[in-house]
Amino acid sequence: MKPATHDDRQCYNRSARRLVRGVATSDGAGVNLTRLIGGRELGMLDPFLLLDHFDSDKPDDYIAGFPPHPHRGFETVTYMLAGRMRHRDNAGHEGVIENGGVQWMTAARGIIHSEMPEQEEGLMSGLQLWVNLPSHKKMAAPEYHEYNAEMIAVEHRDHACSIAVIAGRTSLGTMGPVTGRAVNPLYLDISLEGNGSFIEPIPISYNAFIYVLEGKITVLGERNEQDAVVEKGDLAILDHGHRVQIISEPPTARFILVAGEPLNESVARL
């Protein structure tokens, strides 16, 4: 794939409309984490209600976990980057997700579940995303789906770009294991070598964001002055357009790209 340059962009690039730095907080029984969506700075990005990043090698930051608690009316998506977490719920589902694994749970009309560490030391790192459900699906039966790392398709575009496809289909046809979701989500984990490039179309009606896990990237906008440098720990809300176009800074970069169809429905937080 030919590297992206500032000269070959077209007017439909999605610019980084806004950068958000997460807020340190705690949840569950005292798990320290960074809240990127769902806090005061960014309450939601329809259809996404919350994004948390837990990331620590200090057991006191995560060992108490998330004891039994209820959810209703949305889906929770846990993507493990390092460590092991056990899920149990009152519908009889149980499983352990670890490095590269995904748990996609539809709470719908209501479920009580727990997420507890399966380790007493070492790095525990992962992302939890909450995805809203349309009103006509909020009272559906709960569902639970678990996918280990071997079930996540990885697309290699060239020596500098690899993409773990969790949900949706890439422009080259690689499909993630998560299908049939209400907002038709796209969830990609992209790794780029230094000066690598990534270009991907996104439906123009979708809301989308990027969260940088490692390194630094440049999101190319419609014009040079709209380019945005996004660093580790930054969440970039993308403006509407036909595609996202990104160049990585050396030595390497890693980021997630998440997009979904907005529901345009009112949200009540209880």
- Four-way CATH pick for 151-260: 3.90.180.10, 2.60.120.10, 4.10.640.10, 2.40.40.20: 2.60.120.10
pLDDT of residue 11: 53
CATH 2.60.120.10 range(s) for the chain read 23-149, 151-260
Which regions of the chain are under pLDDT 50?
Answer: 1-7, 9-10
| pLDDT tens track for 141-182 | 999 999 999 999 999 998 899 999 999 999 999 999 999 999
- What integer pLDDT is reported at residue 270 of this predicted model? 65
Q: What is the 3-state secondary structure (H, E, C) of the chain?
A: CCCCCCCCCCCCECCEEEEEECEEEEECCCEEEEEEECCCCCCCECCEEEEEEEEECCHHHCCCCEEEEEECCEEEEEEEEECEEEEEECCCCEEEEECCCEEEEECCCCEEEEEEECCCCCCEEEEEEEEECCHHHCCCCCEEEEECHHHCEEEEEECCEEEEEEECECCCCCECCECCCCCCCEEEEEEEECCCEEEEECCCCCEEEEEEEECEEEECCCCHHHCEEEECCEEEEECCCCEEEEEECCCEEEEEEEEECCCCCCCCCC
Domain 23-149: which topology?
Jelly Rolls (2.60.120)
Per-residue pLDDT at 3: 46
pLDDT of the residue at 222? 81
